[in-house]
Amino acid sequence: MAQALQGIPLQAVWSSPLKRARRTAEIIAETLATPPPRHTDLLKEVSLPLWEGMPFSEAEALYPEAFQQWRHDPANLVMRLPQGESTLDFYPIREIYQQATQAWAHLLDQHPGETIVVVAHSAINRALIATALGLGPESFHTLHQSNCNISVLNFTEGWQGPVEVESMNLTSHLGDPLPEIRPNHRGPRMLLVRHGETEWNRQGRFQGQIDVPLNDTGRAQGQKAAGFLHPIRLDAAYTSSMVRPRETAEIILQHHPHLELQPLDDLREISHGEWEGLYKGDIEENYPGLLQQWQAAPETVQMPGGENLEQVWERSVRAWRYLVTSHSQADQVQTVLVVAHDAVNKALLCHVLGLGPEAFWRFKQGNGAVSVIDYPNGVDSQPVLTSANITIHLSGSVLDKTAAGAL
C-alpha cells in the first residue's frame, strides 16, 4: 500500500492504536519517510463485546436475533451487557458513527489544508466515509472496505464544509483490478464507467447533450480502461445513446467481442439547455449568480432551457433499476458494464447510498473512471458501493488526475 502512495506529499500518518493498524501505519511511514505515526483511540475498531474472539458461525448460533440485526438492521443492533444486577443496552454501530464524527473533528482541527493518511479498520472506516457524506448508521452495509484499500476524501473547508469523495476502496495496487465478490453474493455486479475526455472537457466548456466526440486523450483513456477491465468477465454492456460514452464502451468491448452494446436514452448527460457550448465566464456574464448557485446548491437550479437534477435522477435511476432487474435472475453473478456521463454517474452513486440531488458534488467522476456497485441478492437487496472512481489505470496514481472540465 505504501508504494501506491509514493509521490504524494504527506504531512502526517495517524492510526488506531490496535496492533494490526499500528504496524500498517509504521510500514507506510517508514517506506515514505514521513514522521512516525500518531495514534488515537478514536480510530479503534467497532466494539462487539459479546462476539469478540468468536467465529461468525458461533456468534450467529449463540445470538441469532442480534446477528440478524447485524446483517439487516445494523443501526438497531443492540447488545445487552451485564451491569451489576441489571443489563445495559449497548448499540455498537450507533457508537462507532459517533466515534467517527469525533475522529474527523479531532484530525481535521490539527491538520487544516494538509494531506494526511488515516489507517484504521473496516467498521470505523465505513463510519468515517459515511459520516463525511452525511449518512447515518443505517448505511453501515452500503459501503465496502477491503484490507489495505485506499480511499481519498477532500475536505475543502474542514469538518463543517462540503466533502468530496475523490475515490473509495481502491485495491488494484494489491494485484487484482477490482475487489473480490464476497461469499454468497448472488445478484449482479455493476461496473459504472464515465466516458473518456472530450476537447470540451479539456477546455472547460459545458457540453451537456451536445454530442461531442472523444479527443485523442479520451480514446487513450478508453484503451487504458479496456486494458484494466480486460481480465473481468463481462456478461452485458450498456451505454448512453450519446457518442462519447458509446465510443468509450466500444473501445472497452474490443476485448469482449461476444457482447452487443445496448444504448439507453435515459443515460444521456444532463441537458444544460442555454449553457451548452459556453464557458464558466460566459455563464456568469449572461446568468449572474446562477453558476454559483449551481456549485453551492445544485438541487435548486433549473437549467435555462434544460433540465434540473430531479429530472436527471428520475430517468437515470429508472434506467439503472431496469438494468439491475434484468440481471438479477441469472444462475450466476452477472457483471454488467454501464458507460455514461459525469452527472448521470454522480446521480447513480448518490442513489445507491440513498442520497438525493443535494449531494450531487459529493462524488468525483474522472474521465475513464470505474466504479463498482454490488447487489448481493438482486434488485430488491440493499446495494453496496464497493469501489468509487478508480482512475489508477489512467495515470498510475491513486489520485484522480483527469481533466476537471465542465459537464
Instruction: Return the active site residues.
Output: 195, 269
Nearest to 337 by CA among 124, 195, 136: 195
Distances (CA, A) of 383 to 11, 169, 373: 35, 15, 7
CB 350 within 8 A of CB 362: yes
Integer Cα distance of 269 and 139 in angstroms: 28
CB 366 within 8 A of CB 194: yes
Element (H or E) spanning 238, and its range?
strand 236-240
**Pairing, β 384-390 against β 370-374:** antiparallel
CB 222 within 8 A of CB 251: yes
Integer Cα distance of 335 and 383 in angstroms: 14
Cell 445496448 belongs to which residue?
262
370-402 as b/e: b if 16+ CB within 10 A: bbbbbbbebbebebbbbbbbbbbbbeeebbbeb
The number of angstroms, rounded, from the C-alpha of 331 to the middle of its chain's C-alpha atoms is 28
Integer Cα distance of 77 and 69 in angstroms: 5
Q: What are the cell numbers at 110?
A: 490539527
Q: How many residues does the chain have?
A: 407
Q: What are the cell numbers at 284?
A: 456568469
Integer Cα distance of 236 and 378 in angstroms: 16
